[in-house]
Structure 1
């Protein structure tokens, strides 16, 4: 039997001091909405996405050299970065961005993790998430050329058709793309001992009315927050549970047994529907539209509204939200108006993002089921009935 031990030099990042050892550590990361937009776009265009993973990505970054006060005209230069440095993610992003730009790619105007290459009538799209890279295009030769180019520049550990990405399971076929988190769902059911629970057909009851329950028995805060965190990531492909998860997430500061008992129903619903996900049809058009709705004073504690929005690219659902707003509405008109404003801001971001894909939109339909809210939105005059409305999300 052969035993091999690997040693790795790791820097003690917690000893670094801001302004001395590093300045900026921020590195752009792709939003989940951007990933879903790319999946829907690729399915509509009919090309398969590929994925690659870079080995030891952070070692490819090159942080700035350390200047010596004794020799101001000299610097200590690292040949490679070290693990544990706070600026390692930013250094890796700068290294990869520089390589892609030198290779002829154009960075997205809104999404800085999106890079596009046009050659002749063909287009290659690259989306990066730290060291995970998704790419695809209309030309097989262009895709193969990019894969070979990356392999020569970096040491790759995984290449092939996109199947697993950020715990998302992706199945690409001629009729479309199916995105789900069935394995992750089973993992969290097992983690919280809900694998043998009785299945339920809905994530929450229609007559559920939760409050702070200050006199109730306290629940394990660590476990409750762990359950909420696991469910929040599951909403990346499960919009059907988002309202319920965000409702229970309001009580993380002081969870009670009643809150934990009510939240168990979501896990029982997941036991009944582990395979649900998102379907992006290959025959879907690339039109953009949005829907918004809101309840008035839905929260029993502070009487704030809960707004719900969703945005579709053709028939593909790529973005959605369900959250309690920061302001208290005085009428249903204001509630609907605030929800519509939130949906509109997301549509504007999507419109700008899709322009990098070569898609241009004129008027984008936003559907609201309130005639009075539509009238307020169309009124360009800031009169006394609307000047007090807070649309901060």
Structure 2
């Protein structure tokens, strides 16, 4: 059993390895030895009433295409289904999921819309973020208005559906030839939410050249400076990287210092010099010590990166 993920099971026999992942009553398994894989399938069929579906191609709404060069994961069928469900199949495609020149707010004077329908649209899109990080920020932003949705909110969400119609086949590519090194990227706005002035943390983690984890989340407290906003995002990214590091150790993978890339030299200076002063006294102590301890132990290494925007 995995030391971190208790739904993960591994068996090593000689130089071969078999891997099993369990989700409720569904199982994905594979390995480097055909004999080990066949033995596991036969044993499970004897013990339980199960159906062997063959090579993994479709699982929990995810479509998987495996090849010698790598694996491609997407949700094209799911996209077609939700476009049909919300009567967006004949809508005009859009090249971006949200407008760049108009900020969305609570719109308290706007016309109210069906809350059940709006929440259904958001729920459908949230599941789609499993393979489409390009809509992660937008969906999480619009999900904040589920309590009292307005016409403007529904129109904004419909634009995401129109974008999905333009990019139904986009997904995640995992190259089989990618070298296995772990790194994390992070960024944060400052007081980006127009309602409560809280910042939003954005993080992503890559294994080699493959994107394996990402998030866009509004921070729990109001940041008083850009340094604080960046530092809170660093704590979130750091915790995810350490969890991934521990999980990958079950596969026999070992990592030294994991690069944590951030575009704020001030946040890096605070992380490397954890002294209480006017810039840091408002930062949550838990997050501060989390990053501090990881740096001291040599588990992560903060690095500066320049961000460049490409606009189409």
Distance 2:165 2:221 in 1: 36
1:391 CA displacement:
7.1
Instruction: Assess if the C-alpha contact under 8 Å between 1:289 and 1:311 holds in 2.
Output: yes
Distance 1:277 1:255 in 2: 29
SS of 1:157's partner is coil
SS of 1:309's partner is strand
Gaps of 5+ in 1: 1-106
1:140 CA displacement:
1.2
Counterpart residue number, 2:278: 384
SS of 1:329's partner is coil
SS of 2:221's partner is coil
Deviations 1:332-364 (A, max 9, x none): 111111111110010011011111111111100
Counterpart residue number, 2:14: 120
Distance 2:147 2:50 in 1: 43
Instruction: Assess if the C-alpha contact under 8 Å between 1:201 and 1:269 holds in 2.
Output: yes
Which deviates more, 289-298 or 151-160? 151-160
1:208 CA displacement:
2.7
Deviations 1:194-226 (A, max 9, x none): 000000000001123111111111011000000
Deviations 1:248-278 (A, max 9, x none): 1000000001110111110000010001100
Instruction: Assess if the C-alpha contact under 8 Å between 2:227 and 2:279 holds in 1.
Output: no
1:385 CA displacement:
3.1
Distance 1:232 1:243 in 2: 10
Distance 1:265 1:161 in 2: 36
Residues 387 and 185 (structure 1 numbering): CA distance in 2 closer, same or farther, change over 3 Å?
A: same
SS of 2:52's partner is strand
Residues 273 and 152 (structure 1 numbering): CA distance in 2 closer, same or farther, change over 3 Å?
A: same
Is 1:217 the equivalent of 2:150?
no
1:383 CA displacement:
4.1
Deviations 1:13-56 (A, max 9, x none): xxxxxxxxxxxxxxxxxxxxxxxxxxxxxxxxxxxxxxxxxxxx
Distance 1:306 1:347 in 2: 19
1:382 CA displacement:
3.9
Distance 1:286 1:129 in 2: 26
Residues 293 and 391 (structure 1 numbering): CA distance in 2 closer, same or farther, change over 3 Å?
A: farther
Gaps of 5+ in 2: 287-312
SS of 2:53's partner is strand
Distance 1:209 1:145 in 2: 57
Instruction: Assess if the C-alpha contact under 8 Å between 1:220 and 1:255 holds in 2.
Output: yes
SS of 1:322's partner is strand
Distance 2:231 2:6 in 1: 31
Instruction: Assess if the C-alpha contact under 8 Å between 1:309 and 1:322 holds in 2.
Output: yes
Aligned residue pairs total 286
Residues 391 and 341 (structure 1 numbering): CA distance in 2 closer, same or farther, change over 3 Å?
A: farther
Distance 1:357 1:391 in 2: 33
Distance 1:277 1:351 in 2: 24
User: Which of structures 1 and 2 has the bigger CA Rg?
Assistant: 1
Distance 2:102 2:248 in 1: 39
SS of 1:158's partner is coil
Is 1:195 the equivalent of 2:89?
yes
Deviations 1:272-310 (A, max 9, x none): 000110000010111100000011111111111011000
SS of 2:54's partner is strand
Instruction: Assess if the C-alpha contact under 8 Å between 1:168 and 1:181 holds in 2.
Output: yes
SS of 2:121's partner is helix
Instruction: Assess if the C-alpha contact under 8 Å between 1:293 and 1:368 holds in 2.
Output: yes
How much is the aligned-residue C-alpha RMSD, in angstroms? 1.1
Length-normalised TM-score, structure 2: 0.90
1:321 CA displacement:
0.3
Distance 1:243 1:171 in 2: 26
1:380 CA displacement:
3.5
